[in-house]
Amino acid sequence: MKQLFLDVETTGLWPNVCAITQIGYIYKDTSLGTTDKWNVKMRPHQDAKIEDKALEVTGETPETLATYKDPKEVADEFVRRINAMANPYDKKDKVFFIGYNVRFDEDFIRAFLKRHTQHRTKPVWFGSYFWTPSLCVMNLAAYALTAERKTLPNFKLTTVYKHMFDKDLADAHDAFADIEATIAIHNKICKIDA
């Protein structure tokens, strides 16, 4: 089974106008026993909406964002990496796209690919690489914690992680740290030894 656990940090909530500033993922191919990890920061695309609240959450500043990699270079690298995971022309060779509140990450990755791969000779379609639907660890946790749900103040990743592991999530709102926490929650619920 091919699984891509992925998290993004962004400049806001709206994928059509805001930008990804960080992608963190851990890819696992259980049939081959292989793992690939990637953690990259990129500057926002030109004219991206940058919300003050998003900068506050991630601890970034416009000055630090400007020093990160070009988003088109990151998109090219991302496409190279997903091409190594799955054959986009084989309908039976796809990857499970997994995240916490995964719809947010999926929508941003779709917009990112559309925005930054227009220069390629062949289009890059999300659905060519990933199974539908994407798998949401938040939904999995909601089902597993139905009896305890009323005791939690919210269902954010940091809250669920603290509840399940009795410790704070270090480096919250860092894409790579968040995806490691997502995998820990997933594995605990699914009773998978990591």
Q: What is the pLDDT of residues 28-73, one digit of tens each?
A: 999 999 999 999 999 999 999 999 999 999 999 999 999 999 999 9
Q: Tell me, yes or no, whether 194 lies in a domain.
A: no
In a domain, 30, yes or no: yes
- Is residue 118 in some structural domain? yes
What is the reported pLDDT for 108?
98
Residue 83 lies in a domain: yes
Q: What is the rounded CA–CA span in Å between residue 86 and residue 2?
A: 9
E strand spans, the chain: 2-10, 20-29, 34-41, 96-99, 135-136
From residue 138, alpha-carbon distances to 156, 175, 179 in Å are 8, 16, 12
pLDDT bracket for residue 194 (50, 70, 90): low
* CA 100 vs CA 34, 51, 94, 138: distances in Å: 22, 22, 20, 5
Q: Residue 78: inside a domain, yes or no? A: yes
CA distance 108 to 97: 13
Domain interval for residue 53: 2-189
Q: What is the largest CA-CA distance in the chain?
A: 52
Given this model, what pLDDT does residue 120 score? 80
The enclosing domain of 141 has a CATH number of: 3.30.420.10
Q: Residue 21: which pLDDT band, with cuts at 50, 70 and 90? A: very high
pLDDT digits (tens, 9 = 90+) for 75-116: 999 999 999 999 999 999 999 999 999 999 999 999 999 999
> In terms of C-beta density within 10 A (0-12 exposed, 13-18 middle, 19 or more buried), how is residue 113 classed?
buried
What is the mean predicted confidence (pLDDT) over 122-143?
95
CA distances from 78 to 89, 131, 140, 193 (A): 17, 17, 27, 28
Q: How many domains does the chain have?
A: 1
Identify the weakest region by mean pLDDT among 80-84, 167-171, 176-180, 185-189: 167-171
Mean pLDDT of the residues in the chain: 96
pLDDT score of 167 more than 90 = yes
Residue 99 within any structural domain of the chain: yes
